[in-house]
Amino acid sequence: MDHTDKLPAVLGVGNALIDIITMLENDAVLENFNLPRGSMTLVDASLSEKIYGATSHYKRELTTGGSAANTIRSIASLGGKCGYLGKIGDDELGRIFKEEFEKKDIKTHLTYSDKDTGRVMGLVSTDSERTMATYLGAAADLIPTDFNPAIFHGYHYLYMEGYLVQDHKLIKTGFEMAIEAGLKTAIDLASFNVVEENLDFLKMLIEESVDIVFANEEEAFSFTGKSLENALEKIASICELAVVKVGKEGSYIQRGTEKIKVNSVKANAVDTTGAGDSYAAGFLYGLTRGFDLEKCGKIAALVSGKVVEVMGANLPADTWLEINRQIIKM
Strand partners, 298: none
**Going edge to edge, which strands form the sheet with 117-124?**
40-42, 130-137, 117-124, 17-23, 60-65
Residue-level pLDDT at 4: 47
Residue-level pLDDT at 184: 97
Tens digit of each residue's pLDDT (9 = 90 or more) over 204-261: 999 999 999 999 999 999 999 999 989 999 999 999 999 999 988 999 999 999 999 9
Q: Which domains does the chain have, with CATH numbers?
A: 4-15+67-109+138-329 (3.40.1190.20)
Q: Which residues contact 47 (CB under 8 A, 6 or more apart)?
A: 33, 133, 135
Residue-level pLDDT at 1: 31
Residues of the chain under the 70 pLDDT cut: 1-6
Residue-level pLDDT at 46: 92
Maximal CA-CA distance, the chain: 56
